[in-house]
Amino acid sequence: MPIRLRQAKKGIEPPVAREVRALPIQGSGMKSRQTDALDRKMMTRCISLSVRSGGEGEYPYGVLIRRADQVVTESTNRVAHEHDVTRHAEMVAISQAQKALGVTSLDDCMIYVNAEPCASCAYAIRESRIARVVYGLRSPYMGGVSKWNVLADTDLSNTMPEVFAPPPEIIAGFMSHEAEQALLKWNPLVWRVVKRRGLFVAGRAEAVRGSNAGRRWKRMQRLMAFLRRTVFDRFGRS
């Protein structure tokens, strides 16, 4: 069912309607079962990291980045420890992954988060070109999909294809009930307040996609990915 994202109340209307679609997660074959098992393993680790983050006096976020079946890095929030609001778990993990792999572009990586990345982390995900994003709880007031459509926005990639890849594959609400239960157990009082205010929401898992499609478009995207890596990234990124 199409979801019309909330438009800005002031200012100029965007040139393209910002519409993303929430779709049921497809597939029941061997590959999808393996993917699902791996996703569950990664998200279980993220949920455990989120509880640790909360226990260390940070907001309860846990993040993991993987490439193929290898975990590249993982992180909790580091804002309180480092007195730095840019040290969200996703930002820390992206930075660590880029250093560990010695690359700026993470277009062969996936990121897992126990809750929907905020708008600034969603932008970092787009700029680092992470190809797949899996998150648990939805974030209706801060989220880079639910509130501001940064993660699935096609204007970025259509306008600057030499820098931005098309929106990543997005799985929203993955193991969100498990993510919620872990935080409820970690701090029942805090979690009840958070839930009452609707800051995070558990629900069923859905794939979220931008509006682009088609074989010709995919061929063009493969060419652009090659050009980004071999030509365009020489300017300002490597």
Residues that bind Zn ion (CB under 5 A): 88, 118, 121
Minimum distance of Zn ion from residue 75's CB (angstroms): 12
Active-site residue, selected from the candidate residues 58, 90, 116, 206: 90
Nearer to Zn ion, 112 or 228 (CB): 112
Identify the CA nearest to 98 among candidates 132, 130, 131: 130
Nearer to Zn ion, 117 or 161 (CB): 117
Spatial neighbors of 216 by CB under 8 A, at least 6 apart, are: none
Nearer to Zn ion, 75 or 157 (CB): 75
d(CA 159, CA 165): 11
Minimum distance of Zn ion from residue 121's CB (angstroms): 3
Minimum distance of Zn ion from residue 11's CB (angstroms): 23
- Residue 62: both structure tokens together: 């846990």
Minimum distance of Zn ion from residue 217's CB (angstroms): 30
d(CA 34, CA 101): 25
Task: Please confirm, yes or no, whether 90 is among the known catalytic residues.
Answer: yes
Q: With contact defined as beta carbons under 8 Å apart, do 33 and 40 qualify? A: no
Nearer to Zn ion, 134 or 228 (CB): 134
Minimum distance of Zn ion from residue 170's CB (angstroms): 15
Q: Which residues are catalytic?
A: 90
